[in-house]
Structure 1
Amino acid sequence: MSFDPEGTALGVQRQEELCRSLVEQRGMTVAAVFVDNDVSASSKSTKPRPQYAEMLARAGKGEFAAIVAYSNSRLTRRPQEYNDLIDIAAQHNVRISTVASGEFDLNTADGRAVARTIAAWDAAESERLSERIKAALAQRRKAGGRHGGPSPWGFVSVNKTLVADPAEAKLIRSAARRLLRGDSIYAIAREWNAKGLRTRHGHTWKGGELRAKLSRQSLMGLNSAGVKAWEPILGARTFKEMQVVIQARPHTNKHETSALSLGLTRCALCGLRMRTSRGGNGYRSLACTRGIHAVPSDRETGDPQFTGSEVGCGHSRIHHDRLEAYVFAQVIAGIEAGHITPHPPAANYRDVGRLNSRLDDLVARKRRNDNAFLEGALSAQDHALYSRQIRVEETAARFELDSALGHAQFDAIVADGLDWQNWTAVRRRNFLSTVITRIEIRPYPLGRKRSPPRPKSMSMDEWLKRDIAFWNMMAPMRVHVVY
């Protein structure tokens, strides 16, 4: 049977009864029954037919002398499969009998010719049927109907009409709000997994899978032809804004844990971006790494300038968590006082797509460069040079991408307040990117100690309080926030 949506196999049962009657009329005995229910024998079908394959294998072992089917088309409509059946039948003297299509003696040339001809016509009829079905589905889609198949994520089928599934629709709307507020796909997937939420198939959520599901136009109530067909879960404006964010952030580091990295924090001396590291005492810091080639800070024009000779000076280092708290305190105070306003968004779909393609191309170039070095086609010096050029182009592309995207809407980011300590690192960084250009870090002034002395009589808790107070006193001299 090629179609049994209810799974009752009533059609198979009727066909089996007719086949058994034919077996009884011919005076034969049933050795085995092979059933592939709800699997088409059409040449257009891609579903495997395990029972048919087993039947051929057992026929090839000579386990039975005849194959009985309801009709020739129930055996197969795939000419190549029929040729395999003919070869086995001819080699092992197996006869083929059908209720509706008669009997074929495959041990004669005429019998094989007739069987192949009927198989070819069955295949042609199957293809014509496929064409008619496709045309009918296309007409249905243009009229605002469904094409069939499983219900898309977020919906269930009720009387052949899609309606929102309350639980899944709630997740979708929550994900859309969080993306527009600056959270990442990976942060949402991690949180859902931690809460025990699973996909329809019971699997854990992956960032790529969630991105694909949130990019489907069915969420706007549109079918595959782009025609309004059911009530949406997301409005068109919300969906399109979400797509800009998704398309512009496919290269976001899913393990990102710092809101101040990725070029937002720069060394005030050499202008190079500072990287996160963890000291021997366990706390995180941001440091300018000596000798590292990178793109200088965008001091005046807003564009990264690279001469090929800039290297990190290694003089600036600062406590990460204290810097983050200090910057957020400065920014929030400025917003509340009305001195700081968010950067205007400037999302551009065409530029976002172009820049994403450029980043994909740079990733492919880096892979080819690495492979050439591993295969011995590039020297270590040339590999380092090309890698540096790729990094420069990647940084420039990311800078342009931020400009093309603008930033997530400021109102959406702060819609539920400014409790930034409970935000994800990606959301914190997106928030800062809407109001500041960069953070410049200066080294400690010459002759100044980096921490206050600790007398032997002072407890660690007391000294930490003094150390924090000392850090806050030095912060205005070391930290410069550029708006």
Structure 2
Amino acid sequence: MYQRVLAGDSLYRIRKDWNERGILTTHGCAWSDRTLKMVLYTPSNKGVREYRPVMPDGSRAKTSKMQVKAAWPALVDEDTWQQVSDVLDARKKARNFHQPGSGAAVRMYPFSGLIRCSLCGTSMIHRGGVYQCLQPTPGGCTRSIRSAEIERLVEEAVLATFKQITLHPTKHRTSGSDLAARIGLVATLDQDRERLGRLDDDYYDGLIDKAMWVRQRARIAERIEATRRQHAARMSEQHAGLNIDMTTVAAEWEGRTTMWQYQAASLILQAVLVHAHPADMMTAVPKRRNESTEDFHVRRDAHRAAVLARRVEFIWRA
């Protein structure tokens, strides 16, 4: 895992790979970015035992007050551990360097912006393994729902709807010149984002100083934002995905990009509303005595499906 981080793999990629291969945590749970980060930062992996005393208020000290050599063998040498910690710290600073809307690349999901909180109407944000409502107001809504479950439900509903659609193949297409211009803008965006990545690498490798990094990064980010505005201006007033043939979406879905899937879904889906957990249903299913793990998982999955059916509401386009 340490070598993969040093090789450039993101925590998202490692977590996705492990979960798909069935590699679970010691508690038998799926991995999350937060869990991976905690494991990577753990000093015990480099053969060090740390002491964090209990503070007067009952909380544990956030920083180590004492470190001693552990009795167990180190899983990774100290230099590698420190290099990985520096990489993770640098990635965090890079993510926090730009405020939203500054042109920084953001990971997108097929239904980003479509999944909304039914209480406040805010688009729910994908964080870790959940979609969460983060309304920035005092006492704001913090409703959440498991991302894997709702994404699977929405995808099944969208594909089932597309399979029933029979429209003329030439309908819903844009002109060739407009499409070519948009493709050119997308290519420009990709090139600038690659430049942004190379610039970050040069800074982390010590090839340029911070002042030059900040100046060039701001210039590239400004150019990215300008290109994005041009791209948005060229999109059709009715919808951004009108060049998609709706009769072939179901067949093309699997091999398409996330942006294409989002545009295709938005053609027929206006919003997916997430309601509160039903008051008459348990939030968690306890395991029964003498119940096998397989039977428990079947009963738990059935309960989750029933809850999901009551929590999720589809708002389709006319």
Normalised TM-score (structure 2): 0.41
Which of 1 and 2 has higher RCO (CA within 8 Å, sep 6+)? Answer: 2
Normalised TM-score (structure 1): 0.30
